[in-house]
Chains A and B, each alone.
Chain A
Amino acid sequence: MRVWLILKFTLAFSFIAASSSADDAKTVASADARWASSETNEIPEFRRHVVPLFSKLGCNMRSCHGSFQGQNGFRLSLFGFEPELDRQELLEADELSEGGGPRANLAMPADSLVLRKPSSEDEHEGGQRMKIAGWEYNVFRAWIAGGAKFDPENESNLVRLELQPAELVVTDRNQAQRVRAVAWFDDGTTEDVTALAAFSSNDDSIAAVEPDGAIRIERTGDTSVIAQYAGGVASCQVLVPAADNRDVFPAFPHHNRIDEFVSAKLRKLNIHPSELGSDEDFLRRVYLDVIGTLPTPDEARAFLADRDPEKRQTLIDQLLDRPEYAMYWGMKFSDWTGNSKYISRNPQQWNWVWQQWIEEKLTRNVSYDEFVYGFICATSLEGRSRKDFLDEKRTVLNNIAGRYNYDDGTYAKRRTLDLYWINVERRKPETLLLQTANSFLGLRLECAQCHNHPFDRWTQKDFEGFKSFFMLTRYCDPETGNEENTNGRGYGVEDVQAGVLSRFANTVKQTPPKLLGDEVVPYIEGGEDGRVRLWEWMRSPDNPYFAPAIVNRLWDHYFGVGIVAPADDFNLGNPPSNPKLLSWLTRDFIEHSFDLKHVHRTMLNSRTYQLSWKPNDSNRFDTRNFSHAKLRRMPAEVLIDAIAHSTGVSNNLGRLPEGRGQRAVGQASPPVRYSVRSGGYPMQVFGRPAREKTCDCERSNEPSVAQALYLVNDEEILTKLNDPNGRLPQLLNSTEDNGQVIKELYLAALSRFPTDEELRIQSEYVEQASSRAGGMRDVLWSLLNVREFVFIH
C-alpha cells in the first residue's frame, strides 16, 4: 500500500505532489543539523538515516560495495534496497582488513571500520568520503554507539518524498538556486533530507545539480532534477527561460486545449512558437502521419484549391476513416505488441493473422480498453463450446494452409488474440510480463527482474508478484482440452484456458498475483480468471500508466518526441516535459471512453500539430516543448511506399492478402533476416524493427550512407524509374507539355506545385537532355532525392 500511496502522490493525474501546507506533520530537524556535534545522544534510524547515507556517499553503487561481488570483501545491497542484509554485513568482521575488526564495533564505536575507512583514517581504496567528526561520521558513530539496531517493524517508513519547489523557474541566472528534498514518514514526522538524498539532473547541459541541492544553470531550456532517498524518487522541473528574447509573444489562437497547455509552457520559457504551417506542409504531413501514404496528385490538387476554412478538419476526419488508417496503425500496434517471428513456428502466416486481428478492431474503432482486453484476457474458447471453437480453428487453419494463403477474417473477428499467450517465446511468464508492461503500461521492468529498479519504485518482489498473473493459463490439446506441454506451436495446436492452474500451480500459490504497487489478487482454484482483475486494474481511471502510455505514444508519433521521452519509459526519474498536457490528454481520453480516434483527432486538429517546421530565433534549440514541427525521416515502410507511389510502380512483396495492394505499410512479417528479396533490403536499411526487443527504440530513423546510396543508386530505384508502366511513361504519353509533366511529378512526390524557379530549372534540364524521357527520368529521380522527400515536414 505504501508504494501505491507514493505513486498516487507523485505520478497520479495531478503529476504534482500534493501541497505540503495541508499537512500537520511534525517537522524534525535535518540530519546534518542533528548530528553536527559529536556530543549528541540522539540515535539515528537505520533505514531513515544510515542507509541513505551509504547512497549519498556513493558506497552502495554498483561500482563500489553495491556490486554483486562487493568490494574488498564488503558488500552492500545495491542502492540500499535490503537494509537488513546491510546491517548484518556491517556487524560482521572484516576478514580482509588488517586486524580483522568488525565494520561496526559496538564496544568501541570509533574503531569501527565503517568510520575509519571512509574517513581515510585507514587506507580506503574508494578514497575519503567523509571527514572525521563531520555530521556523516557522527551519524554512523551514533548509530553504532546506540547498538547498531534495525527494527523494521518500529522504525518509520517513508510515505512520500518531495522536491521543493516542484517547479523552479529561473528568471535571474545570477541568483543562487537550490532545491530541498523533504520526506514524510508514517510516524507522522517530516524531515528535510536534502543532506541525505542523492541528486541528479536529466540534462546537466541545461541545469546541473550539486550534492547539496544547489542548481547550476548552464543554458536556456528545461529539464528535471531528480532526488533519490530511501527508495523514493522525486523530481523538480527546472525551467530556464530565454533571457534575450524581448519580442511580444506572437498571436497563437488556440484550436483546442492542447494549444493552451503548450503555449503556457512556452510562455514560461520565453520561447515563441513558429507560425502555422502552410496547406502544402499540412497536407503532406497529415497523410503520412495518419495513413502512412502520400496524397495522389488529384487529392493534393483538390485540397490545395479548396477554399473552405474547415478543410483541414474535414481532411483529418476523412483520413481517419480510410482503410489505410487501420493498416498503418495495425503496423504500429504490431510493433508495440511484439508481432515477431517468435509468435509461432510458422510466423509468415500467423504474423498476418495477428495484424488482421488488430486491423479489425481499429476499423471498428473499438474502445482501447476493450482492445487491450483482447490481449490480457485472451482464451481460445472464449466461453464457447469446444465444437464451436474447433469449427473456427479448422476454418482458419484451412485458410492459411500454404505459403501465400491468408485468413479471410475469421480469426480477426474473435474478441481475443490468444496468439499473444500461445506464442513460442512469450509463454515464458517473465517474457509475457515484460511485453505487457511495455506494450500497455509504458514501463520497462527489466531492471526489476534482477534487482530493484533504480529510478522507480519497482522491487524484485513487485516483479515476482506481477509475474504470477502470467502463470494463470494452461495450454491444452484443442481436441480434448487436456493440458499438454507442447512448447507452443501456434493457435489451434494448443488452446489457452484461463483460471486453471497448471505447471505453475505451486509458484502461484506461494506468490499470489499482485498488481504493480497495488493489492494482491487472491488466487482461488477454479475461481474467476485473475487476469480479468489485472485488466480491470489497468483500465481503472486511477491507473497512472495505462491511459497515459498510449496517449503518449500517439503524441510521440505525431510530434516526433513524447511528452514522456522515450515514449515507453515511464518512471519516476523520467517525468513528463509538460505534465499538465499529458494529464489533460489522459483525462480527455478516459472521458471519451477510451476512444482512440478521438485522441488522434484532438492532436491533429491542434494548432501545435499544424505549426510550421521552420524554427524562429527563439525556438531553434527547443526539442521538447513542441514550439515547431520536428522534421522526421519517414519510417522505412512509409518511405518504400512513397517511392512506389511517386514512380507509380508497385513494390514486389510477394502475394499479399486481398485489398492491400503492394503496400509495405501494414506488412505483417518483419524481415526474419537481412534479405535482398521481397523488399527486405530497404526495410532493413531504413530501420524497420524485428520486434524482438520490448522497446520502442528498436525502430531506428537514423540516417546512414547506405540509405543515401539506396536512394541515389540502388537497382530497385532505377528499375522503378525505368518501368514502362510507371507514372512517368504514362504522363509522357498523355501530354507534350513538359511543364505539365513536371507539375504532376511534383504533386505526386512532394504534394505541391513546383516554384517558378524549380519549374524553370527542371524544364531546361529536360530540354538539354539527350532524350525527353531520359531527362524526365532524372527529374523524377531528383524528386526522390531532395531532402524534402524523405522527411515528414
Chain B
Amino acid sequence: MHKYCDGITRRNVLQIGAAGGVGLGLANLLHLDAAEDSKTNDRNAILIFLTGGQSHIDTWDMKPDAGETKGEFESIDTIVPGFRVCEHMPYLAKQADKYAIVRSVSHTQGAHSPGQRYLQTGNRQIPSLAYPDYGAVVAKEHRAPKGVPPYVLVPGGGSNSATYSSGYLGVAHGPFAALGDPNAKDYSVRALATPAGSSLAALESRHKLLARVDTAFSGVDVQNAELTGMNSSYEQAFEILLSERILTAFQIDKESLSLRERYGRNTFGQQCLLARRLVEAGTRCVSIYTGGWDTHQNNFTELKNQLLPPWDQGLAALIEDLHGRSLLENTVVWCTGEFGRTPKINDMGAGRDHWARAMSMLFAGCGIKSGNVIGETDTTASEPVSTPYSPDDAAASFYKAIGIDNHKEYHTPDGRPVMIVKNGTPIDELWN
C-alpha cells in the first residue's frame, strides 16, 4: 500500500448516497437497466493506472537539452524512427509500433485525490455528484456473459491504493475487486473456488431456498443504496458461482511458465497477464492499479530500480501478447497516472513534485493508429506547445475507441440528466 505526500483522504470514494445525496432510488435505476434493450459490441478495455503520478519527463517525454531539469536518464531509440524513450524502457521501446503516446495532456488538478478522480472518470469532481469510473460505464454499456463480472479491479496486494467508485451509476455497476497478489504462489480469489465436499447442485438448492425465505425486506420500497447494492452483489455472486468461466480465468498458473516469465514474475507483470485472461473470459473492463509513482524523493533511483523495470516489461508483454492473439483489435489499452511531475528537481532529495500542466499517456488497440506520437511540450516539458488536450479529451478518446458515445446522457437516481463526459472531444490524431 502506498502513501502519498499529503497523507490525507485517499478514501475509496465509495460513500454513495451518504456523502453527496446521490445514490437514492437505485432500485428504479436497476429496473430501467433491465428494461433497456442491451445493444453492445465486442470491444473491451484494460486500464492501467499509475497511482501517484508518473514522471512524464523521465519516461515518454524526455528532454535531453533541458539542462538542470533534464534529470539523470538518457533516451534511447525505439523501433519507430525519431521516437525516443527513456533508457529504462527497453521492452516498450521494442513494441513502439503497437501503441500511441499523447504528450500534450494538461490540466490543473494538482492534488492526488481530485486528480485521480478526474483521470479515472474524465470529469472534474464536483461536490454534489459522484462520477463513475470508466469501468462502471463500460460495465453498463457492454454486457458481459452471464457469470462473468463485467468490471474487474486488480489492485494487486491491497485495495487501499485504489480509488474507485461507480458514482451515480450505483454499486450495481461497481467493480469486482480481485484482491490478492496474482504473483503469489497459491493465488486464488477468495470464495470463488468450490470448497471440498460441496457441489454446484447443493449451491443451487440453497439458492432456491434463500429466494423463498429472504422476504423481510421485500415489498417495501426502501431507498437505500447499501441495500440495493447488497441485492445486486448477491445476484452477481450467484451468477459467478454457478458458471465456471471466471474461475478458470483466475487460474493464472495454467499459463506456461515461459509466458509468465515474459510478463515478469512480479505483481504488476502478473496483473497484466491476469487482465488478458479476464478479457478472454468475457470481462469487459479490467482496471489495474499500480502505485509508488509519487516520487517526491529519490525520483531517479526509485524509477530506475523499483518502478520502471516491472512496468516496462509487463506493459510491453501485455501489448505484444494481445497483438499476437489478435486481441488488440478489439481491446483498448490505456495507461495513465493522475498527473505528470515537475520539470524542476526539488531540493528534498532529487525528487519531482506534482505537475498537472503536462503529462503523457499511452493508448493502444481498437484501431488507434500505432507508432504514433501526438503533441509536443516546451523545452522543459512544462507545458504543451501544441494543442493541449484535457483529461476530458483523453476520456472521450477512450470512449470512442471502445465504442461508447461520450455525450450519451444518463439520469442519476434522482432524475438529474448528466453526460458521460460532457467536456471532452476525442483526440483526432489518435486515428488520423
Chain A interface (Cβ within 8 Å of chain B)?
62-63, 67-69, 200-206, 219, 223, 431, 434, 444, 446, 449, 560-561, 565-566, 613-615, 620-621, 623, 630-633, 673-674, 676, 681, 684-685, 690, 692-695, 697-698, 700-710, 712-715, 718, 758, 761-762, 765, 778-779, 781-783, 785-788, 790-791, 793
Contact = CB atoms under 8 A, between A and B. Distances in A.
Given A205-B128, A673-B158, A785 B9 contact: no
A706 B227 contact: no
A202 B14 contact: no
B152 to A, nearest CB: 10
Closest 6 CB pairs of A and B: A708-B237, A703-B229, A709-B191, A702-B14, A708-B233, A788-B216
Contacts of A613: 222
B174 A692 contact: no
Contacts of A713: 191-192, 194-195, 203, 237, 241
A621 B230 contact: no
A546 to B, nearest CB: 22
A761 B213 contact: yes
Contact of B237 (A431, A695, A698, A705): A705
B21 A685 contact: no
A708 B11 contact: no
A704 B174 contact: yes
Given A565-B19, A623-B24, A631-B222, 9 more contacts: A202-B128, A693-B9, A693-B11, A697-B15, A703-B230, A708-B230, A712-B234, A713-B191, A787-B231
Nearest to B216: A788
Contact of A708 (B108, B128, B195, B236): B236
B301 interface: no
B177 interface: yes
A707 B233 CA distance: 8
B10 A700 contact: no
A631 B226 contact: yes
A792 to B, nearest CB: 10
Contacts of A673: 1, 157-158
Interface stretch (B52-60, B69-77, B204-212, B320-328): B204-212
Nearest to B149: A705
A658 to B, nearest CB: 32
B8 A630 contact: no
B414 A219 contact: yes
Given A205-B416, A702-B14, A762 B221 contact: no
Interface residues of B, number: 75
Given A713-B241, A782-B206, A695 B158 contact: no
A202 B15 CA distance: 16
Given A62-B108, A68-B110, A713-B191, A778 B171 contact: no
Contacts of B21: 203, 205-206, 223, 623
A631 B227 contact: yes
A449 B7 CA distance: 11
A707 B205 CA distance: 20
Contacts of A704: 171, 174, 176-177, 229, 233
Nearest to A565: B18
A631 B224 contact: yes
Contact of B241 (A560, A693, A712): A712
11 contacts: A205-B416, A444-B9, A446-B8, A631-B226, A633-B230, A702-B15, A702-B171, A703-B233, A718-B198, A786-B214, A790-B230
Given A695-B11, A705-B149, A708-B234, A714 B190 contact: yes
A763 B357 CA distance: 67
Contacts of B240: 705, 709
B340 interface: no
A203 B210 contact: no
A620 B223 contact: yes
Contact of B108 (A67, A693, A706, A762): A67
B386 interface: no
Chain A CB count within 10 A is highest, among B22, B127, B191, B415, for: B191
Contact of B221 (A223, A615, A676, A703): A615
B16 interface: yes
Contact of A685 (B18, B179, B416): B179
A59 B224 CA distance: 40
Contacts of A782: 206, 209-210, 213-214
Contacts of B238: 712
B12 interface: yes
Contacts of A446: 6, 8-9
Contact of A205 (B19, B224, B414): B414
Residue of A205, A560, A785 with most chain B CB atoms under a 10 A cut-off: A205
Nearest to B236: A705
A202 B223 contact: no
B135 interface: no
B159 interface: yes
Contacts of B310: none
B291 interface: no
Contacts of A790: 230
Given A446-B6, A787-B217, A63 B224 contact: no
A712 B237 contact: yes
Given A709-B191, A709-B237, A632 B226 contact: yes
B10 A705 contact: no
A355 to B, nearest CB: 22
A725 to B, nearest CB: 18
A205 B130 CA distance: 13
A446 B182 CA distance: 35
B195 A700 contact: no
Contacts of A710: 190-191
Which of B193, B215, B221 has the largest count of A CB atoms less than 10 A from its CB?
B215
Contacts of B18: 560-561, 565-566
Nearest to A694: B8
Most A Cβ at <10 Å: residue of B190, B221, B238 = B190
B159 A762 contact: no
Contact of A706 (B177, B195, B212, B226): B177
A715 B195 contact: yes
Contacts of A633: 226, 230
Contacts of B1: 673, 690
Interface hub of A223, A704, A761, A791 (most chain B Cβ within 10 A): A704
B94 interface: no
A630 B224 contact: yes
A765 B180 CA distance: 37
A685 to B, nearest CB: 7
A708 B176 CA distance: 11
A713 B197 CA distance: 12
A787 B160 CA distance: 26
B122 interface: no
Contact of B128 (A203, A698, A787): A203
A62 B221 CA distance: 43
B25 interface: yes
Contacts of B414: 205, 219, 621
A684 B179 contact: yes
B220 interface: yes
A631 B226 CA distance: 8
Nearest to B192: A709
A206 B416 CA distance: 11
Contacts of B195: 713, 715, 718
B17 interface: yes
A786 B216 contact: yes
B146 interface: no
Interface in B147-192: 149, 157-160, 171, 174, 176-177, 179-180, 190-192
Contacts of A203: 20-21, 128
A706 B176 CA distance: 7
Contacts of B233: 703-705, 707-708
Contacts of B17: 623
A73 to B, nearest CB: 12
A444 B11 CA distance: 14
A621 B190 contact: no
Contacts of B210: 782, 785-786
